[in-house]
């Protein structure tokens, strides 16, 4: 089953549905659009007929051209099942946490209140999982940005709120120095995850939803690592060196996706 076969089936008024079709759709985002919203676009091919479709040739020529361009390592990665892509991204985050956090624990770890640490890490973990799941697993492109506004605002603002939380006795007297080092440390450790998100992204047209979700997930991952690694409780240090990473990823991710399309980000 390939693109012309699916097109011909819709033109006959049929909605193809078998194992071959399902296998093809996993690696073909163009044909997947024909099946979106109960195959609304695909069904229109059969109901309107060829006479009333002046753009038919141009439409399928464009689709076939895009399919022909889907080759190489990144095309293979994008065609992987969603569950596998999510698992690989999750492993990359766990690797960053293990190497940057647990392998280099904060100096006051033995004296730091464990209940507070577990609470903060738990909140970070839940927000990270939600952001990555909505980006890779829950087909967010069919919703609007407003549907995820609560998660986006909360996840992006969470590190800023934590920065103003009362410092513990062990971190109360730390200064604001070293913020740049923490910023670079967190950004560098999440760089492999950012590369995977780019490689796995099936959306060729920039989407503001994926930009925001990717950025907040990366920022939260960096803050998770730094919560384990950095003993500072100084608000200025936490704002500049920790919380700002999510904002920086948002700016970087937006510029990257703008460079992939001459059009502005669509909502």
Taking Cα atoms as reference points, which of 217, 182, 181 lies closest to residue 198?
A: 217
Is 148 inside a domain boundary?
A: yes
167 near 233, Cβ under 8 Å?
Answer: yes
Enclosing domain of residue 250 = 73-259
Tell me the whole-structure pTM to 2 decimals.
0.68
* Co-location of 97 and 192 in the same domain: yes
* Co-location of 173 and 100 in the same domain: yes
Distances from the Cα of 46 to the Cα of 1, 20, 38, 51, 64, angstroms = 19, 21, 14, 11, 19
pLDDT, tens digit only, all 267 positions of the chain: 678 788 778 777 788 888 888 888 877 877 888 888 777 777 777 665 444 444 555 666 666 666 656 667 877 888 788 888 888 999 999 999 999 999 999 988 888 889 999 999 999 999 898 888 877 765 444 555 666 677 778 888 999 999 888 877 667 656 667 899 999 999 999 999 999 888 887 776 656 777 888 888 899 999 999 999 998 888 899 999 999 999 999 898 888 777 765 554 444
Number of domains, the chain: 2
Enumerate residues 6+ apart whose C-beta is below 8 A from 229: 100, 101, 104, 105, 106, 182, 185
């Amino acid at each position: 089953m390939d693109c012309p076969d699916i097109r011909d089936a819709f033109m006959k008024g049929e909605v193809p549905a078998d194992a071959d079709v399902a296998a093809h759709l996993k690696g073909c985002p163009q044909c997947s659009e024909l099946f979106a919203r109960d195959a609304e676009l695909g069904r229109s091919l059969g109901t309107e007929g060829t006479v009333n479709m002046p753009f038919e040739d141009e439409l399928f020529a464009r689709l076939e051209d895009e399919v022909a361009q889907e080759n190489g390592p990144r095309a293979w990665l994008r065609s992987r099942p969603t569950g596998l892509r999510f698992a690989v991204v999750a492993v990359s985050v766990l690797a960053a946490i293990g190497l940057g956090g647990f392998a280099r624990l904060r100096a006051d770890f033995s004296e730091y209140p464990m209940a507070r640490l577990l609470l903060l890490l738990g909140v970070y973990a839940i927000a990270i999982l939600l952001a990555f799941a909505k980006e890779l697993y829950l087909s967010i492109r069919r919703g609007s940005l407003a549907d995820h506004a609560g998660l986006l605002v909360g996840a992006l603002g969470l590190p800023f709120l934590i920065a103003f939380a009362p410092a513990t006795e062990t971190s109360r007297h730390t200064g604001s120095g070293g913020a740049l080092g923490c910023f670079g440390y967190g950004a560098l450790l999440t760089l492999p995850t950012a590369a995977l998100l780019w490689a796995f992204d099936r959306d060729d047209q920039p989407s503001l939803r994926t930009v925001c979700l990717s950025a907040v997930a990366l920022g939260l991952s960096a803050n998770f690592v730094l919560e384990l690694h950095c003993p500072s409780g100084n608000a200025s240090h936490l704002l500049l060196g920790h919380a700002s990473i999510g904002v920086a990823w948002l700016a970087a991710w937006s510029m990257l996706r703008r460079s992939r399309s001459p059009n502005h980000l669509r909502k």
